[in-house]
Amino acid sequence: MEKDPEFKLKEELKKLEWEFSMLFEISNAMRTTLKLDQILYIILTALTSHEGLGFNRAMLFLVNEKESVLEGIMGIGPHTAEEAGKIWHALSESKMTLEDFISSYDTFKKDPDSMLNQIVKGIKIPLREDMGILALTILEGMTFEITTQEARKSVDPVIQRNLNTDFFVTVPLKAKDKVVGAILVDNVFNKKPITKSAIKMLTMFASHAGLAIENSRLYEETVYLSNTDWLTKLWNYGKFHQHLSYEISRAKIHKTPLSLIMIDVDNFKHYNDTLGHTKGDDALRKLAAVLKAKSRKNDTAARYGGEEFGVIMPSTSKENARAFAERLRMEIEALFADDEALEPAYRLTISCGIASYPGDAESEGDLISRADTALYGAKHSGKNNTCLYSKDVKGNTSKRG
């Protein structure tokens, strides 16, 4: 028996009410954070939850403009989709705050069973027209519905094999006038057809998601720039102190050593006065590049001020820090050794002072003060030196070659 028009209208209004309510909840959740990884998690849980859009799997890819590729960032499903359902059900019934929802991301991050997430992260697609549907989604900025066998022929076989998907939909993530990424959804497990209504909802959702992603990127870029020295692109004075405080706290908890190297560029004033500030800036950039390249992943290299730099070295003894400083000192000496614009005695070199936690100091201020004292000793013992802090720094200088 066919439903009467009034009943059908009520059903349609009920469906629209649910759709807008869901979009409202999702938009609210995305506004609770500006951290990109949390926003991506919100997007994908909303897509896979039965309280949300209910797809079996959802995968998100972002454009890497520098390399002109589309990179896989995150994937949720199948077992994580069940968890997503619980989250959005609790959220819709006000049993979970948005803050609780965000904190659930930490559990997902540590989930060793999320194979889909690992597979998606390994995908990198050049942005060319011959690279399949995902690339075309970005290049043409339009939705693609792969819902027939004929449409499947245009799918990159590598993507088909890696994701083990038959029929799916891709939708671009747009922010203002550019495409910043793409979402791929499928129902690979329950084989439920992806309807036009679901695609319409997905497209509406993607417009919110694209703006949220772009806002997050702009925020993270602003935060990065506020913590970065404009000239050298190393961390700045403020970030240096923040990192040092954090690393000392970690060293106390884990009972591990921590070394601090303070570095000063020798002869820099003479270099600037003789060759000009443009050359001086260029020299600092070159030195910073060496410092960044030689530092380990967990080290913090920063411009402390003027021609002074600092390197925080977690889990590093004073002697190991000294070995690093000496390698750095010799490389900088070699970098400027052929500068014929200056006499050898005035060519740029560096002096290094080292102090360690807990042997030399137990607080941030004392550690900086002791490393500065050692640096003072290095400068006054002929420059181009590495000096370890002690009560008598003159007895701890070293100079090679």
Quick check: is 159 in a domain? Answer: yes
Q: What DSSP line would sit under 148-191, residue for residue? A: SHHHHTTS-HHHHHHHT-SSEEEEEEEETTEEEEEEEEE-TTT-
If 0-12 CB within 10 Å is exposed, 13-18 middle and 19+ buried, where does residue 53 land? buried
Q: Quick one: average pLDDT of 345-363? A: 93
- Residue 100: the pLDDT is 58
Instruction: Determine contact, residues 295/260, Cβ cutoff 8 Å.
Output: no
Number of separate domains in the chain: 2
User: Which of the pair, 4 or 132, is modelled with greater confidence?
Assistant: 132
Cα–chain-centroid distance for residue 2? 55
Catalytic residue among 307, 308, 340, 343: 307
Q: Do 319 and 171 belong together in one domain?
A: no
B/e letters for 243-260, b = 16+ CB within 10 Å, e = fewer, are bbeebbeebeeeeebbbb
Say yes or no to pLDDT of 378 above 80: yes
State the CATH number of the domain containing residue 197. Answer: 3.30.450.40
Q: Using DSSP, how many helices (H) and how many strands (E) does the chain show?
A: 14, 12
How much is the pLDDT for 98? 46
| Average pLDDT, integer, range 370-388 | 93
Which of the two residues, 166 and 118, has the higher pLDDT score? 118
Kindly state whether residues 363 and 322 are assigned to the same domain: yes
* Better-scored residue on pLDDT, 82 or 152: 152
CB 78 within 8 A of CB 56: yes
Q: For residue range 71-108, what is the model confidence (pLDDT) as tens digits?
A: 999 888 765 556 555 655 655 565 555 455 556 655 55
Tell which residue, 135, 128, 139, has the closest CA to residue 184.
135
Q: Is residue 229 part of a domain?
A: no
Question: Are both 201 and 252 inside the same structural domain?
Answer: no
For residues 142 and 17, membership in a common domain is answered with: yes
Tens digits of per-residue pLDDT, 360-374? 999 999 999 999 999
Distances (CA, A) of 114 to 72, 80, 102, 167, 309: 14, 7, 18, 21, 42
C-alpha–C-alpha distance, residues 162 and 157, integer Å: 8
- Identify whether residues 156 and 292 lie together within a single domain: no
Domain CATH for 386: 3.30.70.270
pTM to 2 decimal places: 0.61
In the predicted model, is pLDDT for residue 396 greater than 90?
no
Domain interval for residue 138: 5-220
Q: What pLDDT digit, counting tens, does each position of 24-56 carry?
A: 666 665 665 667 777 778 777 777 765 557 788
At position 107, the amino acid (one-letter code) is: T
Active site residue 67: no
DSSP state of 363: S
